[in-house]
Amino acid sequence: MNTSHVKHKDVDHYIASFPAAVQVILKKIRATIQKAAPGATERISYGMPFYEYGGKGYAGRLIYFAAFKKHISLFITLREDEAVPAALKKYHVSKATYQFALNAPIPFSLIEKTVKALVRGRTKQSAVGKPEALSQEIQTYNKRQSKPDRTTCDLLAQQISTQLPDAENKIWHAHPVWFLAGNPIVGYSKQKKGIRLMFWSGADFEEEKLNIRGEKFKDASVFYNNSSEVNTTDLQRWLKKARVIQWDYKNIVKRKGQLVKLT
C-alpha cells in the first residue's frame, strides 16, 4: 500500500491514493498537524507529505507522515529528537521513524502534543537561541509571562525578528516594540484578553483578522490566547506589509498629533 514511488501532485492526491478507511486516518493526522503547527507549509517530498516550519529547505522540515500496508509512520528529523515527548518513544522503531499499527487506535492527541513540542523547540532555537537578535529586555519580558503566554511571545518575537532583521527592538512604553528608522512598526503586550499583537499602521493593511482598530490612529491588532492561534503565514504577510505601509508616528508630537503617510 506504500505509494512513495508514485509522483503525487499534492497531499490531497497522496491521501486519495489509499483505501477509504486509511484515508480517514490520514486526513485526521493531517488536520492534527495543521492544528498543532498553524502556518506550517504543506508539501510533498520523497513521495509523502511533509510540513515546513520556521524556515525553508531541510532546516525548515518539521515532520513527515506516510501510510504503509500495516502501519502509518511519522518521520521526525534527528536534530529535533530532544523535543519529542517521552510518550512517543514507545512507537520509535528506527532512527527518526515512529510507527502506529493500523489495527490499533491511532494516538492523535499524542501526535498533536508531539508536533506542538516540535514547534516550541523550533521557536526556542530560532528566537532564544540567537539572543543577539533580540534585546535582553524583551527576552526578560517574555520570561516573565506565564508558560502559555511566553510560548506565544517567543513565537511572535521569532517571526518578527526573522521578517524584520534590520529593525531595532526594545521595550517601549513597557512592551516589546520593533522600529524601522525610529518609527514604531509592530509590537505585542500582555493584556486581560490575551497577548495583543499590534501594527502601528495596520488599519491600512486591509487584513480582516486585524480587527481591533485604534480609535484615533492607524493601528490594528489581533489577540492570541494560545500560540496555536498564531497563523505564521498571515503574520509573515502582515510583516511584509508593515515594511512598505507606514505612517509617521516618529514625528507625531512635532506635528501636534497629525499623522503623515510615509509610503
Cell of 252: 507625531
> Given this model, what pLDDT does residue 2 score?
54
Q: Is the pLDDT of residue 242 over 90?
A: yes
Q: Is the pLDDT of residue 13 over 50?
A: yes
What are the tens digits of pLDDT across the range 112-160? 999 998 888 776 555 444 444 789 999 999 999 999 999 999 999 989 9
Pairing of strands 212-213, 220-224: antiparallel
Q: Is the pLDDT of residue 5 over 60?
A: no
Tell me the mean pLDDT in the region 67-95.
85
Coil vs helix vs strand at 196 = strand
> Given this model, what pLDDT does residue 203 score?
95
> Given this model, what pLDDT does residue 128 score?
42
Report d(CA 261, CA 209) in Å as an integer: 22
Q: Is the pLDDT of residue 77 over 60?
A: yes
State the pTM of this model. 0.54
- Residue 55's CB is within 10 A of a number of other CB atoms, namely 15
Mean pLDDT, the chain, rounded, equals 88
> Given this model, what pLDDT does residue 57 score?
58
∠ CA 110-82-37, nearest 5°, is: 50
Report d(CA 154, CA 227) in Å as an integer: 9
Reported as a pLDDT band with limits 50, 70 and 90, residue 214 is confident
All domains of the chain, ordered by start, with CATH? 11-127 (3.90.1150.200), 133-244 (3.90.1150.200)
11 touches 42 (CB < 8 A):
yes
For residue 255, give the DSSP letter.
Answer: T
